[in-house]
A = this chain, B = another copy of it.
Amino acid sequence: MTTESPITAGMDTTGNEQEQPPSVYELLREDIVSGALEPNARLKVADLSKFYGTSTNPVREALQQLRGEGFVVMEANRGARVRPIDEDFVRDIIEIEVLLEPALTRWFVGVATHVDIEALEAMQERIEELDFADARQHARLDTAFHQLIYDRHYNRHAAELWWKHREILRAISRRYPTSLSRRQAVLSEHRQLIEAIRNQDAEEAAAIVARHVQGSGHHIIEQMGMANRDGARRRAS
């Protein structure tokens, strides 16, 4: 299932057609967003190039791209640092998505075909079958589910923004488990969403998506908070 969607194609930063080795950019980005590199950590090109086994230029260019994307902050002549990906950052992203995704969904309701709805149902089937057994696989399916809705939107800029935010959130939540109540809510909200689309109820669909995004954000932030407190407790002992 090679999802060669307009978004992923547009966002594909390397031209990964035949499984090229991941670029420095991809490695570095993953290490930042997954938390392997501490918030505010200094990013010295010499260290990084040694670590990733390349020369300095690929690292320098990766840093610049990540700066453009906002994952890295730089001061002139004083180098780069990891932008902290903290609870505030997640909250900020979620707030934007709460505005964006309902709007995208509302439009989708107007153009959705019978085929689309069947595709959504098929994906939801697979998600429920899997039942969160494989986190990685679940994330993939869940992303595909929402992507189907946003992917075709005429507003490419909005769709790309969604995709970028999605990737950040996905990388963060990979660190934490999904609570049972959240699992329940995800499945239920997906079903409700499909139903609203089928009924051509754009407002209802938008409202469900808003709840869905909000809930997902709350869950992530809660998990982050718990992890922080655990970490503090462990450090204190």
Which residues of B lie under 8 Å from residue A78 when comparing CB positions?
15
A25 to chain B, nearest CB (A): 8
A111 to chain B, nearest CB (A): 16
- Expressed in whole angstroms, the Cα–Cα distance for A61 and B88 within the complex equals 29
Which residues of B lie under 8 Å from residue A155 when comparing CB positions?
91-92, 95-96
- With A68-B69, A99-B103, A100-B99 as known contacts, state yes or no: A92 contacts B156, CB within 8 Å: yes
Stretch at the interface among A113-121, A140-148, A157-165, A172-180: A157-165
Residues of A29-76 whose CB lies within 8 A of B: 57, 60-62, 64-70, 73-76
Which residues of B lie under 8 Å from residue A70 when comparing CB positions?
68, 157, 160
> Interface residue count for A (Cβ, 8 Å)?
39
- Expressed in whole angstroms, the Cα–Cα distance for A233 and B77 within the complex equals 49
Which residues of B lie under 8 Å from residue A10 when comparing CB positions?
73
- Expressed in whole angstroms, the Cα–Cα distance for A206 and B95 within the complex equals 16
- With A64-B62, A65-B65 as known contacts, state yes or no: A15 contacts B75, CB within 8 Å: yes
- Expressed in whole angstroms, the Cα–Cα distance for A68 and B65 within the complex equals 5
**Subset of 10 A-B contacts with CB under 8 Å:** A15-B76, A15-B77, A15-B78, A62-B64, A70-B157, A92-B158, A96-B155, A96-B157, A96-B158, A99-B103
- CB of A199 closer than 8 Å to a CB of B: no
Which 9 A/B pairs are nearest by Cβ-Cβ distance?
Answer: A68-B68, A15-B76, A92-B157, A64-B64, A65-B68, A68-B69, A99-B99, A64-B65, A61-B64
- Expressed in whole angstroms, the Cα–Cα distance for A228 and B156 within the complex equals 22
A176 to chain B, nearest CB (A): 21
Which residues of B lie under 8 Å from residue A74 when comparing CB positions?
13
